[in-house]
Structure formats: structure tokens, C-alpha cells
Structure 1
Amino acid sequence: MKNIERPAVTPSNAAEWGSDVAAQMLRVLDIPYVALNPGASYRGFHDSLVNNLGNETPQMLLCLNEDHVVSIAHGYAKATDKAMACVLHSNVGLLHGSMGIFNAWCDRAPMIVIGATGPVAPEKRRPWIDWIHTAKDQGALLRDFIKWDDEPRSPHGIVEAFLRGAQLTNSQPTAPVYICLDAGLQEQKLDEPMQVPSTTRYQPATPPRASRKDIEAVAGLLASAKNPLILFGRGGRSREAWDNRVKLAELTGASVMTSIRERAIFPTEHKLHAVPPFYWLSPTAKEAVRKADVIVSFDWVDLNGVLLQMMRKTEAYPAKIAHVTLDASLHRGWSMDYFALPPVDIPVVAGADGFVEDVLTVLETRLAGKSLWKGDNRNTAPKPAYTPNAETEMGPRDIEVALAKVRGNQTFTLAHVTIGWAGDVYQFRDPLDFMGHDGGAGLAAGPGLTIGVALALKDQNRPVVAVLGDGDFMQGVSALWTAAHYGIPALFIVSNNRSNFNDELHQEAVARMRGRPPENRWIGQRIAEPVIDLAAMAKAQGIASEGPVKTASELEAAIERGLAAVRAGRPYLIDAHVAPGYSNPPLSRGE
């Protein structure tokens, strides 16, 4: 990453102004980066980052849109399980960035979002502009999709707000927090010198563990089951947690399923990984669920949604079900991201990774270390193979096949994929192999998420690759300037079907339900006449690019060129034209 934008002269690091206290809190909290799009409401804070801290620890990352400010911090959290900071200008910047905050909320990603308002004191406001950028309760705009918020009224209040915010956002279940800084307080000179405290006594709590009763009960279910099924949903990035999941599956002989919406959590090449990571249950996946007499969910998102694909009255589902999650502590009434209530025989309020460890310990004793798995292969993933017409017109799945073929045994991180990703040939082998989806299905996130992941992994010698939909890319394209400016290497592949294709399917579903012509589904959806030059859009942001690439062999060669650029420390973009369609069509209402 380029070491740029360092001030020529940096005065004393002593805190002299209210905003100096806020900036120094980020430093003592060990926040390495703060993404921002400038705004006058936090001009004092901006000055403190530059002229009090020297734009170092944290370093500012200039973005061209508040969407990217948040999505970069979101991507960083995906790769590290730690909060980064981002700053949003009063009212208008917060409104812009709120979609990204919602994505991070639904994805349960830690993040310290810093906002600004005011000045709160009316006599300090400039005519017009300061009035429309002052709010009585700015946190009300997003309080239903953040974990906590505060608007401190004193320098000491700033210290407490940052200590509490960091503690809460990094405690499970993680989610964004919001701290709003009054412009007047930022620009207030301190009455006396102020010492920013150590964070040693304000660390996040260890995730709660389950009771012995619950651990024994779930261990008993798994030990006695004839066809156990484990659903691994959310989980941490540590190698220890990854290995414990594998040990649990092998000890119990349970089939395993994972979600393409979540980060890599289990080796998808393993013989017990029954079906490729999925959005919706395939016929093969439904058969695996149907056979299960015991289902144990480890923080699976929308457990009842899985059962609903099997039968409508899920309260009568025959399998015994255990559900391990802390998520209910975040549930409230505004957003329905808590999903339908699942029927659960053993509800467990505990961190998923800790519970895997606890139940594994009990089972190793109970089974005397003898595995219940007979070594049979339940993995149904096919070998990578292109669609028949891939040298004429690529299908969306051909991008996945090309990546799998080029990758071989190399180590990559797949930062993002499209909604129509097949997930059946590109395998996940370690905790950093895949970073999941955007959480809240808000477009424009993919480019920023990729940059955040690449920022977090820039020293790990593993190329970061993303496959983006053309709609997502076009709405988030100006995020690429930040990657170019700071030298953040990532390979962006745009799966370009020149359509808002997800909505084509919805229009077809409505037309069929109403007995109207489904062949009109494309009207108001296709992005053509003219076809947008996505490679030129990337070049305009300072990123090397190529395309449109239209055949599988061309794509493989382009990926090799892109990876060479990334390994040399530069971002790169490929515009890959594919036929309109999905490898795995989404469900539509009424179908």
C-alpha cells in the first residue's frame, strides 16, 4: 500500500481540542484505518487526524462516495473480525452511507461509524447550511440497524463513547455502532490538558458459553443420531475454530451444509460436505435435509427458511433440532432480519465457535475418541467443466470454472460473488478463502467490500479476487479510485450480463401468475443500446483493465494477467460478458 498523504509538519501530539480527543481515541483503540468522504461538519476531527496524529494510525482513506466509506470498513471486518472506523458527514453523508450500515448490520460486522452534527449551540451555526446539517437526534436515522449510538457532550464523554463503542461493536454478536460528534465540541479548546486512558480495562467480553445441560443435550443428540446434519452458518476466522468444526463433523459422522451468503467456514472439498454452499436448497440438498433425524445449527441465518423449503408447517418437522446462536440479543421490531421463528428442541444461547469446542470435548470423552464416521464420501461437487458454448458465449458459471482452473492449488481470497453464483466447483479450503455476501443485499457494496478485504490482507501474500454483478459494479465503480490512489491490490471480475437480471425473473414470475406474456420481462431491465464500457470506467478511476472478454479461453488468459498485476501490488479489472441467466436461479414469490 502506498505511503502517501503524510503532512510535512506535525505539531505536538498533545490533545488541545475536543476533536483531538476523538482522534487519539482511535489510536489507543488500535484502529489502523479510517475511511471518509470529507464534510465540513467534522472539519475539526479531520484536522486532528492530520495535524495532531500526522495521518498515521489511523491513516485516512479518501473515498469518493459515502457508500464506499462504509463498505470498505465492512470488507475489512469480514477479513479480520475486527472493527475499522469510517466517518460520515452530517445528515446527508449519513443518509448516503446508511445502506452500507444496513448491509454491515445484517452481516453482523463490527464497525465504528463516526458522524457529526451541528454545531448544536444555535448561536454558533452559519446561516442555512449549518441548520440543515444539524439534527436533534441523528442516531434515530439508523438506531434500528446499529448496536448502539451516542452523541457525547464533553471531552470526557468522547472518551467514554469510544471506549464503550469499541467494546460493544467487537463483542459478539458484533454489529456497527455510531458516535456522533457535535461540530461545536470538536472545535472547543480544552480547558485543561487531558490524558487519553489505556484501553486495557475496556476490552470486549469473551462470548458467553452454554450451560453444561445444553452441551450434554446436544452431544447426546449427535451421538445417538442415525443421520445427523450440521448447518454451519456464521463463525470466526481462526484456524482453531475451522479445525474444530472439521473434528466435530468427523467425530459424529454428520453431513455438513454451508451457506454461500456467509464466509468460508468448512472445507467444501471434504467428504462430509454434502452439497455445495447454497442460497436455496437444490433437490440434492433437500434429500440430505430430509434424511436427517437430528439437525444442529451453528448460527445458521434463517434456519426456518431452510425448513420452509421442505414443508410449509415447519412446527411439525420430524427431525430433532438444536440451534446455537447469540443473535436474538440484537433482534428488534423494525427490520425483519431475524427471519421466521424456527421450531427448536434445544435452543442454545452461546457463541457458535465456543459451543463447537465445548460439545467436541464432551463427545471425545463419551465416544472415547472413536469416530462415528465410516469414511464414506457424501460430497456431490462436480469437476470443473465449462458450459458447451463457452467458446462462443460464456454462461455465468463459466467465470467460476475459469477461476477454479487458474487457481489450481494456489491460495486466493474470494472477496465477493454474484447472486447467481453456482458455488459447486470453486472450493473453499481455509477460513480466508471466501468472505461471503454483502449482508443486506444493498447494491454498490461489492467494489468497496473487495477493497476492504484487500486492505486487510495486503501483507498475507494471497491475491484477493471478486466477481461482481454489472449492476453492483456500476453503482459502486468510484470505489476503484481509492484502490488506485492507495495502491490496494485486488482483481475485479465483472460478470456482465447487461441486465438487471434478477428483476427480469421477478417480472416473468408476475407475468406468468397473471397470464400475461413473460417474454416482455426484459423491458425496463436490459442495459444495452449503448452497452456500457466497464473497462473504460475502471481506466477512468486509474485502474488497468481489459474487456469485454467473451470466451472461456480469453477469460483464463485475462485472469492470469490480472493476477500478475495484483501480485505486483496493483488493482486490475476484467469485464467478462456472459449470457443473461443464473447458475442457481433465486426463488421468486409465488413459485
Structure 2
Amino acid sequence: MADAGGTSGGGRVAGWGSDVVADALAALDIPYIALVPGASFRGFHDSLVNYLGPDGPQMIVCLHEEHAVAIAEGWARVTGRPMAVALHSNVGLMHGSMPIYNAWCDRTPVLIFGATGPVDAHERRPWIDWIHTSADQGALVRPFVKWDDQPGSAEAAVESVLRGYQIAATTPKGPVYICLDVGMQEASLQREVRVPDVARFAPGRPPAAAPDEVERAVDMLAAAHAPAVLMGRMSRDTADWQRRVAFAEALGAPVLTSIHRPPAFPATHPLHVLPVCGEWPSVAEADLIAGADLILSFDWLDLGGYLRGCIGTASTQKPPQARVIHVSLDHTMANGWSKDHYALPPADLALYADPDQVVGQLAAALGVRGCSAAAPLCPDALHNHTHWQSSVTPPASGADHAMSLELFAHTIAGFAASREVSFARLPIGWPGDACAFSHPLDYLGKDGGGAVGTGPGHSIGTALALKDSGRLVIGVVGDGDFLMGVNALWTAANLQVPVIFVVANNRAYFNDVRHQERMALTRNRPVENKWIGQVLDNPRPDIVRLAEAQGFAAEEVGTPDALIQALEAAELRFRAGQGTVIDARVGGY
């Protein structure tokens, strides 16, 4: 860490521009930097290796820039802190742009370093430096990063790193991009450049609601007979988790969570009356929302669209009858390019504050009013609601050639029930009644951008963050997702970071098969053609051999019993430090 006077730790004396960038990174105590090496940041690379040495972040070498960003995002999804990434020039940034967009949509902090140049055309080598230099490289990702910069001096680079970290880690969090000119990196320093005390530039505390707004919210809750609470984007912190439970018990209202986000409330709690919400509102969810007279939303993903889906309208012209308290800071991220601000939600009280801060304020206010779990504020809110687990019937095993997705999911959930498991990812169609989450790290959510290929990187980043925690890390991914990101597994093997992948292999881009089926039915065209352009066959990708080539153990299974046996064997390997891929045949093609 840099001391209060700003000198480098370890007796280092910066001699080059990139040394100063490395000093700033070390002062922030960032443990890892994921990268695919590139000549554009050769100066920075040298500073990390030969200047910082063991005082700097550990390098995570990747085989593709997409994996580097996805691993960093997976790590941040657990820790809530930015990890560093280095991307080579404009070409590396273009490779890495998709998972950067995912991090943006996920509101996940990532500190991304790029490089260009030399900006001075006189210094460019023939051919290669010209095609790897852009006039405004940050423009490639500016619509989906919180901030970008291209500092022109070593002094400016220090400020850029500190500002970038501060912005990335400030709620709502997100990725930032800092482009390092080759000329600045490789310039010999003829002066002292100091890194200040980074504690003076730390992110501030997330904002809370004004006291009068909290008072009004409590009054609205007290007047409600059938409130419903939607818990969306919230922290992984266990103290925040416990505070949410205490608040919900003091209120006594049903709570919903979504499979799009990591769990914000235990699905096994009596107040979580319905299964975890899936891709679209269920009939039971629609009935609950229709029967509510107050909806309290804590940064629910696409609140406006969700409410429209529940009440069966496609526009703002028919808002729900219930009053709405909307707690979110997400409007501050809207920029017009990406439409991830979603549908405009109605709000009778909009609290522009951090959701977990507001939970604490509301919990304190309810405590002052003498409320507790034994005497909830809304004692009749659970009328006619029974807990979803009381009616769960796992699907029976059929005579099919492959497991159904439902049977597959319940088999894995049954295995996890007696273990501390962190599901780094779950695939499309995973049933909500196979989500008995009871801890904030039981599941880390979907990819915010709805892309394909990030599942392996996210799972590896999650495993890196949870290494030595004792938690079993499982990434359940689709075959398309796995095949696009399979060589990310080499990085996990190289780092000796174990992770278990279970591939839901339906041997097709099955989500799009269903879209083609819908088109054919709508247009009165042959439904049997829905498979054309979708099937992964002839030859069938050999997932087992692809996994083994990356240093993983692997096997193929096709029945629930075989899946359980494979998971038990994978757990033993995981405890011994080796990763496993299970290629599970599920219903589909």
C-alpha cells in the first residue's frame, strides 16, 4: 500500500510511466489481474512483473479476452469489489466487449485497462502499430461502461486509476475502462510521481433515503392490508441478508426473489411463499401481485415490465391498482444507447437510495414502533398463502433417452440440499421450485446481457473468489454456452482453482428451436423444420474430450442415478483441487 506521503511500498522507485500505473494498482490492493498478453501494454506488463513483483496482483492468464472479463466479473459478483483486467489494444477490447456489456447490465464493478498507440504517429512501427491505434478507443465501449479515460501523463494516470476504481465501486456499480497510451507507458520518468494515500479516494457510502421519505414509506406499509415485497438487486453481505430477514419478519408480508439475480432473501423462509421467480411471471405470481394493495420493490429487475406481465398489459396505460414503493438508484445508469433501463415503472413513492440502506432504515423504524416477528405490522398479509415447498413434487424418471430439464434440475438440487453449494450459473428454463436457496452465496445469478459464452468464465471467477471457503462451486450451463467458453477452463486448471461444470446438453440451440416453432405456428408453416440451423450434430461436439484437453476430468451421463454418482465423484476431485465437467444429456434434440 502507498503510505500517507504517497511513496511506493517495498522501497520501489518508479522509472517509467507504467511503473506509476502499477504502483496505483498495488496501492488499491487488487489481488488479481486477468489478461491475454499484448504488445500494446508490454510496458505495463513489465511493470507488474519486474517492478511490483510479489507486491502486485497475481496474473491470471487467459486464452481469450472474453474469458478475462468474465472471470473478473464472476469474482466481483461474489466479492462486490473490482478486479483488474488488461485488454490488448482495440482488437482485444473488441473481443472483450460482450462480457463488458454483461458486467454493465449486471451492475458489477470491473477495472479494465486497455492500451493504444503510440498516439504520436511519429513513434508508430510500420503496419502493426497503425492498425492497433484508434483515435478514440473508449468510444467502442462508452455506451456500456460507467466511465472511460485515456490519461496523457504518468500523473494523470494515477488520478485515472483512483477515479476509475472509485466510480466502478460506487453504487450502482459497473465496469470502467482506462486506456494507456504506449508512449506514456514507455516514457522514462525524469521526475518523481507520487501515489497518494488511496484511502482518501475511496468510494463513499451508498446513499440512504431522507427521514421524511422513510416515515412516509412506513405509513404506507402500516395502511396496507396485503403488501408484497420484491427483492431484486441487493448485496451478498451476510449482515445485509440478516437485516432483510428481520425487516420482512417485522412486516409480515410475502417476499419474492428472481432467478435473474443472486438470492436476496432465503427461498426456504416461510415468507417466501412462492418459488423463485423465473423468466416470465407465473399464474401464482400474477395472482399474488393482483391481490396486493401495496408493492415494495427493492431494485427489482425490470419492475415495470414485471408488473405489466402480471396484470396482462403491454403498456403504461393500465398500471397496477396497488400502490408502489420503488427503491432504486438504477435510473442513474440510463444513457439511451442500451435499453437495460427496462420499462418505466409506476411509483407512488420513489426512494432514490441504496436498497440495503433503505431496508436498514425501515427495519429501524419498525423497531421503534414496537414491531417484531412475533407481532408483524401486517399480520393478515399471508392470508391464503402457503409455502411453495409444501407442494413440490419432483418429476418422475421417464423411459426417455434423456432426462427432462425439470428432472435434471431437481436431481442436482437434491444433491446440493445436503451441501454448501454455490451455483455460479443456471441455464434458461431452470425451474423455480429447484431453487431452495438459503444463503446469499447459494446462487450468483444469470448473465445480465443475456449473451452466450460467459458461463464458464463467470463460474471460474466465482470459484476463484470462493477458493478455500469450503463451498462447492457448480456452474450449470447449456451446451452452447459451454462450447463458446470451453477454453476458459484452461485458466482454472492453470490456477489450480477447482470448479464443477454440469452441462445441460440438449445438442441444439434449443431456446431458438422454440422461437422457430412459434414462428412456424404463427405463420402456418411446417413446424418440423424448427430444427434446421439449430442442431449441434454431425459431428456432435465431444464435450468430454474438449474438457479433458483443458486439464479437467470429464464424463458423460444420461440418467439421474448416473448424474448423482458423477456429482459425488466430482466433489471428491473438487476437494482434492481438480475440476470436473459432467456432460449431461437432457431432453431436446
The answer to whether the superposition gives a TM-score over 0.5 is yes
Report the Cα offset of residue 195 of structure 1: 2.8
AA of the residue aligned to 1:289? I
Match of 2:12 in 1: 13
Runs of at least 5 residues in structure 1 that lack an aligned partner in the other structure: 1-10, 582-591
Aligned position for 2:263: 264
**2:103 aligned counterpart, secondary structure:** helix
Equivalent in 360, 364, 368 of residue 365 of structure 1: 368
Supply the distance in 1 between the matched residues of 2:21 and 2:406 (Cα, whole angstroms): 47
1:327 aligns with 2:330: yes
C-alpha distance in 2 between matches for 1:485 and 1:123: 40
1:299 maps to amino acid: D
- Kept in 2: contact 1:29–1:199 (CA 8 A): yes
Cα distance in structure 2, aligned partners of 1:212 and 1:378? 35
* Number of aligned positions between the proteins: 570
Q: Does 2:344 correspond to 1:336? A: no
Which amino acid is 2:334 matched to?
A: H
Per the alignment, residue 470 of structure 1 pairs with 479
Distance 1:368 1:261, change over 3 A: closer
Select which of 552, 568, 579 maps to 2:576: 568
Equivalences for residues 288-437 of structure 1 within 5 A: 288-309=288-309, 310-312=311-313, 313-314=315-316, 315-369=318-372, 370-371=375-376, 372-373=378-379, 378-381=386-389, 382-383=391-392, 385-389=394-398, 392-437=401-446
TM-score, structure 1 length as denominator?
A: 0.94
Matched letter for residue 287 of structure 1: D
Answer yes or no: is the 8 Å Cα contact 2:397–2:407 preserved in 1.
no
Aligned residue in 2 for 1:8: none
Q: 1:528 aligns with which of 521, 530, 537?
A: 537
Q: What displacement does 1:423 show? A: 2.6
Deviates more, 1:521-530 or 1:115-124: 521-530
The offset of 1:390, in angstroms, is 6.9
Q: Does structure 1 retain, via aligned residues, the 8 Å contact 2:476–2:504?
A: yes
Q: After TM superposition, give the deviation of residue 571 of structure 1 in Å.
A: 1.2
Q: In 1, distance between residues paired with 2:359 and 2:11?
A: 49
CA deviation profile, 1:543-567 (whole Å, cap 9, x unmatched): 11111x0000000000001111111
RMSD over aligned Cα, in angstroms?
A: 1.6
The superposition leaves residues 227-267 of structure 1 with CA deviations (integer Å, 9 ceiling, x where unpaired) of 11000000011111111111122111211111101011110
Secondary structure, in 3 states, of the residue corresponding to 1:424? helix
Offset of residue 367 of structure 1: 4.3
Inter-partner Cα distance in structure 1 for 2:393 and 2:86: 43
CA distance in 2, matches of 1:320, 1:494: 43
C-alpha separation between the residues in 2 aligned to 1:108 and 1:163?
19
How far is 1:194 from its partner?
A: 2.8
Equivalent pair of 1:105/1:146 in contact (CA under 8 Å)? yes
Amino acid at match of 2:386: R
Query: Deviations for 1:326-385, whole angstroms, at most 9, x for unmatched residues?
Result: 111111110000011111111110000000110111122224443244687632134462
Deviations 1:281-326 (A, max 9, x none): 1111111111111001001110011111123144432000010001
The question of whether the paired residues in 1 share the 8 Å contact of 2:164 and 2:177 is answered with yes
Residues 511, 55 of structure 1: CA spacing in aligned structure 2 closer, same or farther, 3 A cutoff? farther
Residue 580 (structure 1) shift: 1.5
How far apart are the structure 2 equivalents of 1:69 and 1:387?
41
Q: What are the within-5 Å matches in structure 2 for residues 70-219 of structure 1?
A: 70-219=69-218
Secondary structure (helix, strand or coil) at the match of 1:519 reads helix
Q: Deviation at 1:270? A: 0.9
> Which residue matches 1:589?
none
CA distance in 1 between partners of 2:56 and 2:460 (Å): 19
Residues 100 and 445 in structure 1, CA contact (< 8 A), matched pair in contact too: yes
CA offset digits 1:366-422 (Å, max 9, x no partner): 244432446876321344624331785211122321222222332111100101111
Aligned residue in 2 for 1:542: 551
| Alignment partners' CA distance in 2, 1:251 and 1:512 | 50
In 2: Cα distance, 1:368 partner to 1:83 partner: 38
- Equivalent-residue separation in structure 1 for 2:143 and 2:402 (angstroms): 45
**How far, CA to CA, are the matches of 2:395 and 2:493 in structure 1?**
33
User: Alpha-carbon deviation of 1:212?
Assistant: 1.5
Give me the whole-angstrom Cα distance separating, in 2, the residues matched to 1:390 and 1:179: 56
SS of 1:483's partner is: helix
How far is 1:57 from its partner? 3.1
- What is residue 558 of structure 1 aligned with on the other side? 566
- Please state whether the residue corresponding to 1:54 is helix, strand or coil: helix
- Say if 1:384 and 1:425, in contact at 8 Å, map to a contact too: no
Q: Counterpart of 2:99 in structure 1: which amino acid?
A: G
1:473–1:494 Cα contact (<8 Å) kept = yes
Asked whether the equivalents of residues 148 and 178 of structure 2 are also in contact (C-alpha less than 8 Å), the reply is yes
Paired residues of 1:384 and 1:401 also in contact (CA < 8 A): no
Query: 2:275·2:435 contact (CA, 8 Å) conserved in 1?
Result: no
- Letter in structure 1 aligned against 2:492: A
Q: Is the 8 A contact 2:290 2:320 kept in 1?
A: no
1:462-513 deviation line (CA, Å, top 9, x unaligned): 1111100000000000100000111011101000000101111111111111
Does the 8 Å CA contact 1:302/1:340 hold for their aligned counterparts?
Answer: yes
